[in-house]
C-alpha cells in the first residue's frame, strides 16, 4: 500500500465493462517503500469517494482487485481509505530503513512526533 494525495480525476468514455460506474483518480504518492522505479503519479479506482486534495491509502495488485469485489478486474490500484491523520516517529527512531518521501520531506499535515 502507498500513501498519497488525490490530485486529479480521469474520465474515460470507453473502458472495461467492470469499470462502468467507477471513478478513476490520479494519486501523487508521498513515498514508496521499494519500487522498481519511481513515478510521479498513478491512476487508481476509487470505491470510497475521495475528492481532489484528500490524502488516501492505495492498495496495489491482488489486494486492489479484492477491494473492488472481483479478482478478475483489469485493475492494478484502488483507493482503500481516506486518511484523517498521519503520525510518524522522529527520523532517529524509525530504524535502519528510513522513509524516503518524494520531494525530500514529509507533506503538509504529516506529523512527526
In a domain, 60, yes or no: yes
End-to-end CA distance of the chain: 22
- The whole-model pTM stands at 0.77
pLDDT above 80: residue 11:
yes
Q: Give me the pLDDT at residue 99, please.
A: 61
In a domain, 20, yes or no: yes
* All residues at 6 or more sequence positions from 79 whose CB lies less than 8 Å from its CB, including other chains: 6, 25, 27, 44, 45, 46, 47, 48, 50, 56, 57, 58
Is residue 113 a part of any domain in this protein? no
Task: Report phi then psi at 88, rounded to 5.
Answer: -120, 150
Give the chain's domain count. 1
In a domain, 9, yes or no: yes
Q: Any idea what the CATH number is for the domain that residue 58 is in? A: 2.40.50.220
97 in any annotated domain: no
Averaged pLDDT for residues 62-77: 83
Q: Is residue 77 part of a domain?
A: yes
In a domain? residue 96: no
Q: In the prediction, which pLDDT does 102 show?
A: 61
Provide the residue range defining the domain that includes 51. 2-85
Report the SS3 class of residue 101. Answer: strand
Q: Is residue 102 part of a domain?
A: no
Distinct helix (H) and strand (E) counts, the chain: 1, 7
Amino acid at each position: 500500500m502507498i500513501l498519497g494525495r488525490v490530485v486529479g480525476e480521469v474520465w474515460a468514455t470507453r473502458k472495461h465493462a467492470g469499470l462502468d460506474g467507477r471513478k478513476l483518480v490520479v494519486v501523487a504518492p508521498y513515498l514508496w517503500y521499494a519500487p522498481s522505479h519511481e513515478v510521479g503519479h498513478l491512476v487508481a479506482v476509487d470505491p470510497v469517494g475521495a475528492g481532489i486534495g484528500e490524502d488516501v491509502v492505495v492498495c496495489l495488485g491482488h489486494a486492489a482487485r479484492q477491494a473492488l469485489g472481483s479478482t478478475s478486474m483489469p485493475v492494478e490500484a484502488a483507493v482503500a481509505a481516506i486518511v484523517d491523520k498521519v503520525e510518524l516517529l522522529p527520523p532517529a527512531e524509525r530504524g535502519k530503513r528510513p522513509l524516503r518521501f518524494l520531494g525530500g520531506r514529509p507533506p503538509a499535515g504529516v506529523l512527526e512526533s
